Amino acid sequence: MQQCLQRRGCAGRVAGHGRTHTTEAFKPFSRRGPVLVRADANAGASGGPGLLQRLGRVIKEKAAGDFDRFFKGTSKTRERLGLVDEMLALWSLEDYEESLEELEEVLISADFGPRTALKIVDRIREGVKTGKVKSGEDIRGALKTSIVELLNARGRSSELKLAGRPAAVLIVGVNGAGKTTTVGKLAYKYGKEGAKVFLIPGDTFRAAAAEQLAEWGRRAGATMGTFREGARPQAVIASNLDELRQRACKDPEDTVDLVLVDTAGRLHTAYKLMEELALCKNAVSNALPGQPDETLLVLDGTTGLNMLNQAREFNEAVRLSGLILTKLDGTARGGAVVSVVDTLGLPVKFIGVGETAEDLQPFDAEAFAEALFPATAPVKVGAK
């Protein structure tokens, strides 16, 4: 493979060779031995954590293995969905239409969005008509099933599809969504699996952004490319990839497996900045034909339904391949993600559940639905 890289790369560009390697496929690289990682469990936190976050962390640690470990942060959505319990307690088959309309309203208020809420309720209506859904408990089950189906509609695997060597991943999102932190977590994850990871500081607005990325690089045992404050990000991406190509030509041992490109936060409504992002993606594909393998939008889980607008605009600008939902350890509004997945057909790849390197979890639709409608919640089914 290195021969292939040498042959094509040194003549011009480093090219992907079409082999798909997921996490499993990174294992061959671990023959070099695991990358040394200094995982500092407390590093990376900016400022003192709030009470909810502290509480969240304690719950998270105590609930290892439990679904709450993944989705304790769906609390805002869950708060609203508490109304579902009240509704189901009053559920009556006789006037189910009225109840289903109420259910639709509750789902909308819990950030599912009108389109997705209608879709979910329509499925339940079908179930009622065909006699499959009779009780409040049946509705809870049907709700969970619908949510899982919507979330898994684009496949269940949350692994990144990394076909090239190097494979590139472009990380985009609005300001403060958690992009740089996610780049760090991904570097740590793939580094631990034996991949040689290279970070490109595509946020050229602030020197602090590069320092933050460099710190993550140190924690994850990844190398960071050259940063030029104020330079056009597409130029920085291009020069770093060129540098990588030259290094791989001189010494094939220097070939990296994974390139993670961090970008500056931008408002999804800022046309010029979105255009710049498209240029950043072009810079990657010009240097590495067929790349980036993944273009991931980082969404702040506390955002609510506005994440749908963000996802639409970013998808329009750079054609996304997936989503990463962060801050699910806070007071997140997870319901909105169902709407994003349903509307745009984009899979959720990972979730962020904290600020440390290990706080990145694969997305699990069943656990998500379970967290929204915990089985333990008592449902009193009765006639009106």
Ligand X SMILES: Nc1nc2c(ncn2[C@@H]2O[C@H](COP(=O)(O)OP(=O)(O)OP(=O)(O)O)[C@@H](O)[C@H]2O)c(=O)[nH]1
Cβ 282 vs Cβ 232: under 8 Å = no
Measured in whole angstroms, the distance separating CA 366 from the mean position of its chain's CA atoms is 16
The residue ranges that bind ligand X (CB under 6 A) are 44, 46, 53, 173, 175-181, 203, 209, 265, 326-327, 329-330, 352-355, 359
Angle at CA 292, nearest 5°, toward 234 and 251?
85
- Closest by CA position to 248, among listed 169, 161, 164: 164
Q: Considering the complex, what minimum distance in angstroms separates the CB of residue 137 from Mg ion?
A: 45
Measured in whole angstroms, the distance separating CA 145 from the mean position of its chain's CA atoms is 22
Q: Which position among 75, 77, 158, 180 is part of the footprint of Mg ion (CB under 5 A)?
A: 180
Nearer to ligand X, 52 or 83 (CB): 52
Q: Considering the complex, what minimum distance in angstroms separates the CB of residue 191 from Mg ion?
A: 19
Nearer to ligand X, 255 or 315 (CB): 315
Nearer to ligand X, 46 or 130 (CB): 46
What are 17's two structure tokens? Answer: 């060779």
Residue 36 DSSP one-character state? P
Nearer to ligand X, 43 or 249 (CB): 43
What are 197's two structure tokens? Answer: 């990871």
Q: Considering the complex, what minimum distance in angstroms separates the CB of residue 262 from ligand X?
A: 7
Nearer to ligand X, 9 or 225 (CB): 225
Cβ neighbourhood burial of 189 (10 Å; 0-12, 13-18, 19+): buried
Partners of 46 in the β-ladder: none
Nearer to ligand X, 127 or 178 (CB): 178
Question: Does 181 contact Mg ion by CB under 5 A?
Answer: no
Q: Considering the complex, what minimum distance in angstroms separates the CB of residue 317 from Mg ion?
A: 18
Using CB atoms, what's the residue nearest to ligand X?
265
Q: Considering the complex, what minimum distance in angstroms separates the CB of residue 209 from ligand X?
A: 6
Name the binder of 315 from Mg ion, ligand X, none, CB < 5-8 A by kind. none
User: Hey, how many other C-beta atoms are within 10 angstroms of the C-beta on 49?
Assistant: 16
- Closest by CA position to 50, among listed 376, 355, 362: 355
Q: Considering the complex, what minimum distance in angstroms separates the CB of residue 158 from ligand X?
A: 15
Residues in contact with Mg ion by the rule CB under 5 A = 179-180
